[in-house]
Each structure stands twice: as C-alpha cells, then as structure tokens.
Structure 1
Amino acid sequence: MTKTALQSDHTYDLAIVGAGPVGTTLAILAANRGFSVILIDARHPDAVPRQDTRTFAIVRGSWRLLGAAGVTEALGGLTEPLNGLEAIDGGTHWFGAPGVLFGNEDLPDDPDGQPLGQMVPAAALQAALDEACGRTDGIDWRRGQLFEGMETGPAGATLTLSDGRRIETRLVAACDGMKSSVRAAAGITTEGHDYNQSVFAANVKLARPHGGIARQLFTPEGPFATLPMPDNRANLAWYMKRGAAEAIAAMPVEDINAELNARFAEFAGPMEIDGPYSAYPLIMQLATRMVGARTALLGDAAHRINPLAGQGLNLGFKDVGALIDVMGEARDVGLDPGSDVSLERYEKWRRFDATAAAMFMDGIDRAFTNDSNFLKPLRGLALTLAQRVPPLRQALARQASADQNHLPSLMR
C-alpha cells in the first residue's frame, strides 16, 4: 500500500489514547523501559486547565508506581499522608455505632517509611505527570488531537487522528475514560447499573484535627466521607438520592454550610466549604472484556466502580503496572507485546481483580445504605470482628493499600 502524506513511516510499540493520570503514567513508564510511545492527548497545549477540585487517595502500592514514574518528588508539600481508614455504621443501634479503624501500624514496615497512602490533589498530580512526560525521551506527545477510529490487523493497528494523520502501532492502550471511543471502536461492550444516587463533592475546612484519617459514616441514605488534606482541610463526598445532591450544589454556600453542620458536625466536627463544589451521578460500568484485537483497556475505560473507598484510580494504576510487566516479559522472550497471547495474560491478571473490587464496593453500598433491622446486626458483627481480630484487620489494610506480593512489580 502506498502511504499518503499524512501517514506515518514509523511504527510505534504503543499508542496511548487519553492523557489523564492513567494514560500519562503508562506513557512515562513504557518509554522508560525502551518502548516507543505515542500519547494522544485531547487537551490543547494553549488551553487553560479546567478546574479540578478532586483529591485522590493514592495508596502505598500506587505511590511506588508514581515514584517509578518520577513524579513523587514534584508533589512534595502538596500531599497529606493517609495514616488510616475508618468506617462507622451510622444507622440506629441499641449499643452504639460499630466501626473499624485500621492504619499504618496494621501494615508491614515500608523501607521508605511510607504510610498507608497519600492524599493528592487531582490538579497537582496531573501537572506533575505532564512535567515528567515532557522530559521523558521516547514519547511522541500529540496534544490537541482526538482519536477518530482504528483498523487492526495481524501485525498491528492503524489509528486515525482528528488532523487526518494515520498512526501505525503494535498495541493500543485505551485510557480515554468511561465513554471510551477506543473501546467502542474495538467493539467491546459494557455492563453495569445506575445507582440512582449522586455525590455532593467539596473541600472543607475542619475545626477538629483530622490526623490523616479518612473517615466514612454510613447512613441509611448513603455514605458521608471526609478525606484528609493539608492545613486541616478535607475533601468530602456526601452520597444522596439522585437530585438531592444536585439540589444541595445549587444552594448558596451559607446554606450548604448550615446543612452540613446540622447533619454531620457530631461526626466530623464543625466544617466550612472551602472552594468550588459540585455534584455528579453515581454509576457502575464494567467492560465485558479488557482486551480486543491489538487493544488493552485501562482505568475508567475498563471499569468505573463505586468510589466508596477511593479505589478507582488505584485500580487504573494496577492496570498500568500489569501492562508494563506483560509488555516487558513478552519482549524478553521475543514475543509481540500486542499479540493475542500477551493481551490474554493482561486480561487474566486484571479482569478478576477489577470485577471483584466493583462487586465488593457494590455489596458494601447495598448492605449499608439502609436501616434494615435484619442487616444491622450482621453489619455490626462484621465491623466488630474486623476491628477486634488483628489478622483480619491487617489483611484489610494490605488490600486497601495495594501492598501485596501478587501485584505488578512496580507496586511491590
């Protein structure tokens, strides 16, 4: 076939569509390991970054992955150590609200002295990754470009971009979010459900020290969570029925403060909105497969789960670590990293973990978002056992912090 003027003469090892935290981290780590990478980024280089008030709970294993990508030092002073996770059942109980708290002491000692995790502002994380991406050799960073379509064949894939260019690659990584165009082009369907809930999200100033503890109160209408931030601030997530969160977000800030303190000051102490706030719908969506022809799905393109324990981005980082390991091992034995054999290994490694996490968070939401007289004793027993049985509490801490031996090498 004769190449057109807009068709590349170079075949990349990896084409990444989507330059959020998952896609940019993958680009840096793959390039560092000698793979030729093209990163397709829809953001225009001259555009003002959109305001992002989210704060991510980056657990210990994911923090190690970001360390390998060379961004943790740039985040110094912008993060808050995550020293513990607490869950309290706020339904009506005869003998007080049961709960569980696990923290750094429940984890094996880290050689670098890392806590359970770090609370990282979303905007700061993206800025640090962008800076690292710009100084990493081996990345062809195409900003202001959109993915338009792709064709796959036995030896690779051809991507078409919005400027008409056609990109040849051996493997395509779909990191383009919940409404992934790459996933649709690969013919991969999704399944899931709408919770008919929304989350009110905001940053608040706290009057009581948070101690680096992420706290979650389960109420019959949904959880209320405070995630620690620097300067004794917190990022809160308040789950409500669809429409209620949107109504709260439309209120004047003085009225929101009054509502928050009337409902939750006993749990979190007096608080005050500090900055923008918003509401978003709660949806679970899982891809029916995590791979297609010459294609791997990562992050929200593969799995959008209930954000109860802040595991969404951490699942995406597990995807990144697994794909890096699979690509490296394939190259070491002379295999094509984009072949069906390599992609099958990636899917087997990641699909069960992602599905199990989604089902677990879904089950927790269903079990605790009610005031059932049947479920309350069972919930109380489960939380009491988790609190009083050290091996169980330690296992939960290791799972939550991604500090386990079976994880990708960069997270261990």
Structure 2
Amino acid sequence: MDNPERARILQAMEHNSDILIVGGGLNGPALALALAQTGHSVTVIDALAEKARKNAAYDGRAYALALASQRLLDAVGVWDKVADHAQPMLEIKVTDGHSGAGPSPFFLHFDHAEIEEGPMGYMVEDRHLRRVFLDAMAEQDSITQISGKTVVAQATDDTGVTLTLDDGTTMTGGLLVGCDGRRSGTAARAGIKRTGWDYGQTALVCAIEHELPHNGVAHQFFMPPGPLAILPLTGKRSSIVWSERSEMAKRINAMPEADYLQVLRPRFGDFLGDIRLQGDRFTYPLNLTIANSFIGDRMALVGDAAHGMHPIAGQGLNAGLRDVGALAEVLTLAGRRGEDIASVLVLERYQEWRRFDTAALAMATDVFNKLFSNDNPILRLGRDIGMEIVGSMPGLRRGFVREAAGLTGDLPKLLQGRAI
C-alpha cells in the first residue's frame, strides 16, 4: 500500500464519528438511534442546551404520528417509553364551512375500523417525545451528544467532513446529515438553494381543555382564511392548529386570553362543551420550501431541512421519519456491501427514494390549501361534491385511511416495524 493511500485511510479512521448529525429536534435523534442499532457511531449536535430540551414545560405542541411512524419509533426503541402519553386517533372528520355558521352538510368521515392494522395514528406531545429521545440516546455508547453549540463552518474533502463549532471546537466524520430545519445552515453552507413560496398564512398553535371527551376523534374544519385542526390529546384535552391570514393571526395572538378564546369559540364550536386554554400560545408562519437537492458532497438532508410544507395534512414529522427510515436503510445496506456510505452513488439512492414522494406530498398540501382556503362559490361547490363522492365510496375511503396511516408507497423497513 503506498503512503498517500495509507495516510488517507488512517485519517479516515480518526474521525470523531462515522456520521455527524446537525439538529437534535426529533428527526436527528431518530436517525441517530436507527444508525446506532446497525453499528454506526454517531454525533448529534444541537444549538439548544440539553436542559432546555429535556425539561420543556407543557406547551400544547403535539404531533400527529401516523401508524407507520409509530412503528419506526417502536423499532428504534422509544415507543414503549412514550406510549402512556400517546392518544390513539380512531376517527378523522373533515368538514367545510364558515366561522360561526357551523359545518357544511357535506363532510368526510374516516374510521380506523376500515383497516386491520389498528389506529390510524397517535397524538404525542412534543415535550414527551424530546425527553424520550434524549434518554434513549444517552443509553447508547455509540451516540455522542453535543448540546448548546452551533455549527459555524463545514468543510469536505476526500476523507470526510469537518465541522467547526462556535467555541472553536472541530468535529470530523465520514458523512454529514442536516436535520436543522427549514432554514438549514447545513444546506446553506453546502450551497444548496431552495424552491418555495409564502402562503400569507400563520398557524396559531395552542392546547385547550374541554368539558366533554373527544373519543379519539380528530377534526379538520376548512374555513376561508385557512384550516382549523382539533387534535385529541390524552384526557379531555386537544391540540389546536389554526391557520389565519398573517396580519389577523398576529392581532389574535396578541390578545388577552379571554379575547383569544372569544375569537376561537365560534370557529371551534360547542361540540366538546366549554373550552379553556392550557399552556402557552405559539405562532408559525406557513410556507412551502423544498431543497433543490437532498444531498451534497458527503452530505444528506432530512426532514424540514429537505422539505417544509403546509401543516394541512399533519404530515411534516411523518415525512421526516420516512426520510430517517430511508436514509438509515440505504446507509446500512451500503455499509454491509463494503461501499463508502458517503459516496454520491449511495446518497443518490436515498434522494431517488425520497424526492418524488416528498415533492408529491408538498404539492398535494399546496393544492389542498389553495382549494379550501377561499370562499369561491364554484370551488366550494366542487369540493363539497368531491367530499360527498369520496365519503360514499368505501374502497376510496379505505385508501384515504391507509394514506393517513402512512401505510402506502415504498415504505422503509423501519416504518414497517422491521429491523434493517
């Protein structure tokens, strides 16, 4: 073996980890656990201090985990630690209407009993998910966590990737994965541009307590300014994701609690009895943003770093976990064949697997939002007829239920509940 080749191999062996993951929200830890199970060493870097991430107070933020996503969490060893905090979604009701006028007589009703696999999904609060991910990573010797540090530079050569943190520390790895959100610094430093647009809408997010039980039913109520999702949490509580025009949302969120509830009540209705707020309120500007490439030189993007979409179908985290399952499977199988897991040939397999699916989902959410977030009488008639047709056809309705449960398409093994 000549000296340059020997030097290259020795340098590669001195990496801090096989894989460096930037972003410790939910997708980053899920990927770290999946990769650790298949023998990779991983470092997860997050800008937020671990104490702040682990001891998050109750704030009502929650995720609608599709059944396939729940299977991935089970496969990476965290579901049993969060299951007691998970609320099964047994039904989904979709209606159209105006604030204070009640729903349209045309609606969609999806029931988990139409499929054999179980609930369509589960609602789990953000605070519980983050805590179990942090605990699970701490139990893995092959996972290193770096919290409270920001990546300020990244460089790539033939032997790997070098990251520079804001305290001057450098980290090296064979592959870099960006799980750092819609404004991904990882993507920006790699020169990857994004395509997308702003919706002029802002999501108001909060949790409420109500008098009557929700019975595991999720509601999506479409109104001209934007959709209102009422998502069941454990107990007599629900998570609200409520889209309004951005200027209106800003005014509503600045209101005192009593006034905020007064605006919400006619939109919410009285089917769950009296309601009151629990925890903090949040706002999130809504846009569509897709990275022009999901991969770069020894680098891949996962979750919102690759694709951020409208929350109208609640598929943001589910799409990210599909990325996690696909990337973990591609890297693991390539490694078993003796390939360089950071080579462009390997990373292109990941991109080919995920890019079409995510682009189709992003476009679907975009079309649905534009179709339903208006009061055009012709469009209103068309969508009401469409809902009536879908609701009257069991086969088509069952297809929608399976789609909501994440059971369609080319599923990675982890989302089938299988080991890689």
TM-score w.r.t. structure 1 length?
0.93
Residue 33 of structure 1, CA deviation: 0.7
> 1:69 matched to which residue of 2?
76
Runs of 5+ unmatched residues, structure 1: none
Structure 2 equivalent of residue 16 of structure 1 = 21
3-state secondary structure, aligned to 2:311: coil
CA deviations on 1:316-337 (whole Å, 9 max, x unpaired) are: 1000000011001111222111
Residue type matched to 2:46 in 1? D
Q: What's the offset of the Cα at 1:96? A: 4.4
Which structure carries more helix by proportion? 2
1:242 aligns with 2:249: no
* Equivalent-residue separation in structure 2 for 1:278 and 1:12 (angstroms): 36
Tell me, yes or no, if structure 1 residue 355 matches structure 2 residue 362.
no
**Which deviations, in whole Å up to 9, do the C-alpha atoms of 1:143-168 show, x marking residues without a partner?**
22221211112332222222323222
Give, in whole Å, the separation in 1 of the partners of 2:401 and 2:227: 20
Contact 2:18 2:40 in 1 (8 A): yes
The one-letter amino acid of 2:114's match is D
The change in CA–CA distance for 1:373 and 1:60 in structure 2 (over 3 A counts) is same
- Aligned to 2:14, the other structure's residue is in SS state strand
After superposition, where does 1:306-385 map in structure 2 within 5 Å? 306-385=310-389
What is the alpha-carbon distance in structure 1 between the residues aligned to residue 205 and residue 109 of structure 2?
23
Name the residue aligned to 2:45. Answer: 40
Give yes or no for the alignment of 1:57 onto 2:64.
yes
Deviation at residue 259 of structure 1 after TM alignment: 2.3
| Superposed displacement of residue 255, structure 1 | 1.6
Correspondence 1:272 to 2:276: yes
Which AA in structure 2 matches 1:399?
E
> Does the CA contact (< 8 Å) of 1:90 and 1:97 recur in 2?
no
- SS of residue matched to 1:168: strand
SS at match of 1:97: strand
Q: Secondary structure at the match of 1:243?
A: helix
Q: How many residues are matched?
A: 404
Aligned mate of 1:149, from 131, 148, 153: 153
Conserved? CA contact 1:8–1:165, under 8 Å: no
| Structure 2, gaps ≥5 residues long | none
Q: Is the 8 A contact 1:32 1:136 kept in 2?
A: no
- After TM superposition, give the deviation of residue 232 of structure 1 in Å: 1.6
Query: Corresponding residue for 1:203?
Result: 207
Work out the CA distance in 2 between the residues paired with 1:186 and 1:166. Answer: 17
For 1:222 and 1:268, locate their aligned partners in 2 and report how far apart those are by CA, in whole Å: 21
- Are the counterparts in 2 of residues 86 and 100 from structure 1 also a CA contact under 8 Å? yes
Partner of 1:29: 34
Q: Is the 8 A contact 1:156 1:170 kept in 2?
A: yes
Q: Is the 8 A contact 2:202 2:244 kept in 1?
A: yes
Partner of 2:90: 83
Distance 1:300 1:96, change over 3 A: closer
Please name the residue that 2:133 is paired with: 129
Q: 1:164 aligns with which of 161, 164, 168?
A: 168
Aligned equivalents of 2:269, 2:347: Cα separation in 1: 49
* Residue 104 of structure 1: aligned partner: 112
Q: Which residue of 2 aligns with 1:219?
A: 223
Corresponding letter in the other structure for 1:97 = P
SS at match of 1:172: strand
Once residues 266 and 93 of structure 2 are traced to their aligned partners in structure 1, the CA distance between those partners, rounded to angstroms, is 21
| SS of 1:77 mapped into structure 2 | helix
Change (3 A) 1:53 1:264: closer
| TM-aligned CA distance change 1:131 to 1:160, over 3 Å | same
Alignment of 1:258-269 (within 5 A): 258-266=262-270, 269=273
Matched position secondary structure for 2:313: coil
Check whether the contact 1:8–1:166 (CA below 8 A) recurs between aligned residues. Answer: no
Percent identity over paired residues: 36
Whether the 8 Å contact between 2:15 and 2:174 is mirrored in structure 1 is no
Please give the alpha-carbon distance, in whole angstroms, between the structure 2 residues aligned to 1:220 and 1:146.
41
Secondary structure, counterpart of 1:128 in structure 2: helix
- Taking a change above 3 Å as real, the CA distance of residues 268 and 225 of structure 1, as seen in their structure-2 partners, is farther
Which SS does the other structure have where 1:119 is aligned? strand
Secondary structure in structure 1 of the residue aligned to 2:212: coil
